[in-house]
């Protein structure tokens, strides 16, 4: 069993798995001000909550898009389980092939999700990750990462909308009963949920046209569950995609 951490700008996804079984998965708020010891206490408490003894953990792996926190989190994991975790980087032995201008610029989270997707689905693939940003990754029919798109995430869009207008309130991210809102709150919810769903449907169609092939579409990330049910396209939701990808990369790095 290993401990896996995917460090995003908003949340840290933490889980324990052994490839065949995910023992738990949870989310912590990403806090750049926390110390190594504070994170170590949090990790130990999570293991205790899920009744996972640290002695059972043979290793760990960290994927991070928050460089200032990466070493702090690695040291925190080491303090709890006594093993320094592996770190996903552009040079990791993950086997993913790229056909883009600067492969080293691809976020580790996108690489991890692509590795997981290719282990379970036949390409061509589109992978949507809805977090702080909404990212769209494209894998062509040869299994090569060939690019994608990056858009403002739902939370960023909502904060920009309410922060720059005087009369628009903060809202929860749930769909209204009707796409045509009859009050300010429902109008905003319609734009956020139905508007994002329509954007994803449109992007998928354009990507298929560019590839010349139909694609299988996957979605992950904390906000995907709020939007994907309202898409017209068939989209497979997999909240565990990053954790499963970290297992795949951990095994590849250990066997190098």
What is the set of active-site residues? 109
Distance, CA of 129 to CA of 108 (rounded, Å): 12
- Contact present, 65 and 88 (Cβ < 8 Å): no
DSSP state of 100: S
- What stretch of H or E contains 156? helix 154-163
- Contact present, 53 and 16 (Cβ < 8 Å): no
Q: What is the DSSP string of 199-211?
A: HHHHHHHHHHHHH
Q: Is the dihedral of CA 71, 72, 78, 81 positive or negative?
A: negative
CA distances for 217 relative to 106, 123, 197, 204, angstroms: 19, 10, 13, 8
- Give the length of the chain: 256
């Amino acid at each position: 069993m290993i401990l896996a951490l995917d460090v995003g700008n908003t949340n840290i996804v933490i889980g324990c798995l052994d490839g065949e079984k995910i023992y738990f998965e949870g989310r912590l708020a990403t806090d750049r001000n926390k110390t190594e010891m504070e994170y170590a206490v949090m990790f130990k408490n999570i293991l205790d909550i899920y009744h996972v003894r640290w002695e059972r953990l043979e290793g760990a792996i960290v994927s991070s898009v928050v460089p200032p926190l990466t070493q702090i989190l690695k040291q925190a994991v080491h303090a709890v389980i006594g093993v320094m975790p592996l770190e996903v980087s552009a040079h990791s032995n993950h086997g993913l092939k790229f056909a883009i201008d600067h492969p080293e610029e691809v976020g580790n989270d996108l690489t991890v999700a692509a590795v997981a997707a290719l282990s379970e689905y036949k390409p061509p693939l589109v992978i949507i990750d809805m977090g702080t940003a909404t990212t769209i990754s494209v894998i062509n029919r040869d299994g090569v990462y060939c690019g994608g798109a990056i858009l403002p995430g739902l939370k960023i869009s909502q904060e920009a909308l309410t922060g720059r207008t005087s009369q628009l309130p903060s809202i929860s991210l749930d769909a209204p009963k009707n796409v045509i809102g009859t009050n300010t709150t429902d109008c905003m919810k319609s734009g956020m949920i139905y508007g994002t769903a329509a954007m994803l449907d449109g992007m998928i169609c354009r990507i298929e046209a560019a590839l010349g092939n139909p694609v299988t579409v996957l979605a992950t990330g904390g906000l995907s569950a709020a939007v994907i049910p309202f898409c017209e396209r068939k989209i497979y939701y997999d909240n565990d995609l990053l954790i499963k990808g970290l297992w795949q990369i951990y095994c590849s790095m250990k066997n190098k």
